[in-house]
Structure 1
Amino acid sequence: MGVLTDYFRAPDDGAVLAAVDDAEGGPLVGGARPVFDGVRAKGVHPEVVLGQLIAVARDVQWEADLAGETPVWPTTPPPGREGPTDEDDPWSTGPWIMRLSRPARDTLADLPAAGLPAVSARWAAASEELDTTDGEDLRPLVEALTALARRAREAGEDLYCWICL
């Protein structure tokens, strides 16, 4: 079983939380029109794999906090609670939704179109978690993520990642 990850843009956490119950299957479903504008990116976990793309784009070493993700759903557990309590607990089962930092969004948005083939190739070489080592295989995803980041920034919105097992 793989991890499903969808990246999407939204005006704020409230809009995301309002859609959580209505978006069974993720933010990119919803009949004829998806709930949010986004990109399917199976297995591109924000902390590690997307963080590696951000590291490549910034020409820095990968660190765990490069995407600057903040949990949106499930929300913070009640005080005194250490972790999941049962199999129906969303902390155990998901889905999980993370908001990415504005610097991460802007790093992706600022990637020039002419540089995407080189960035894709470097990302493929840098990430053991990806299913390919060929940058050309990743270029459509990099193009889609950078375009999404640009649309989010132009609209004053944040980028989010929906994660499901």
Structure 2
Amino acid sequence: MGVLTDYFHAPDDDTVFHALDRTDGMSPLIPPLEWDGVEAKSIDPDLVLARLVAAAHPTPGRHHNPLVWPATEDPEYDGSWVCRVDLAAVPDTDLPALATHWAGTDEWRGHATPDELLPIATDLVHLARRARDAGDHLYCWRTV
């Protein structure tokens, strides 16, 4: 099955926590929540998305994605989890170069071309833009 990741936006961590608690960790993109988001299978927030973030906004240091749900960091926990992520919106004109850079990272090299990654990068950047415009935060839901 692989890793399933959905990116979505919501007003704040408490809203996400309580919603996921009520739905037992179901994806926020399906009923009853159906929040605005993007299905992005295997786009891990700590590594794969981090490469896109670094390409879009190069800053020294590693980005930290704070855990929002569940309320445990138990290494034995095997359910879904949600973290807050940072992907500032970039201009659409920068997206082709961003996809080219992303395709050259270790995670994608030989597995995806810039043309294959451009729609994914575009969807994620547009989601980040919608989150910013709504005054929301961007989140990643993940399950194995």
Q: Same fold (TM over 0.5)?
A: yes
Count of aligned positions: 143
Is 1:72 the equivalent of 2:68? yes
Unaligned runs of at least 5 residues, structure 2: none
Separation (CA, whole Å) in 1 of partners of 2:68 and 2:97: 33
Q: Could you tell me whether the CA contact under 8 Å between 1:49 and 1:130 is conserved in 2?
A: no
Percent identity for Structure 1 against Structure 2 = 41
Note the C-alpha offset of 1:112. 1.4
Structure with higher Rg: it is 1
Aligned residue number for residue 42 of structure 1: 41
Distance, in Å, in 2 between the alignment partners of 1:9 and 1:130 is 29
How high is the TM-score relative to the length of structure 2?
0.87
SS in 2 for 1:105: coil
Alpha-carbon distance in 1 for matches of 2:2, 2:109: 12
Distance 1:129 1:49 in 2: 8
RMSD, aligned α-carbons: 2.2
Structure of higher RCO (CA pairs closer than 8 Å, 6+ residues apart)? 2
State the shift of 1:76 in Å: 4.3
Letter in 2 for 1:45: D
Q: Which residue of 2 aligns with 1:88?
A: none
Unaligned runs of 5+ in 1: 78-82, 85-90
Alignment TM-score, normalising by the size of structure 1: 0.77
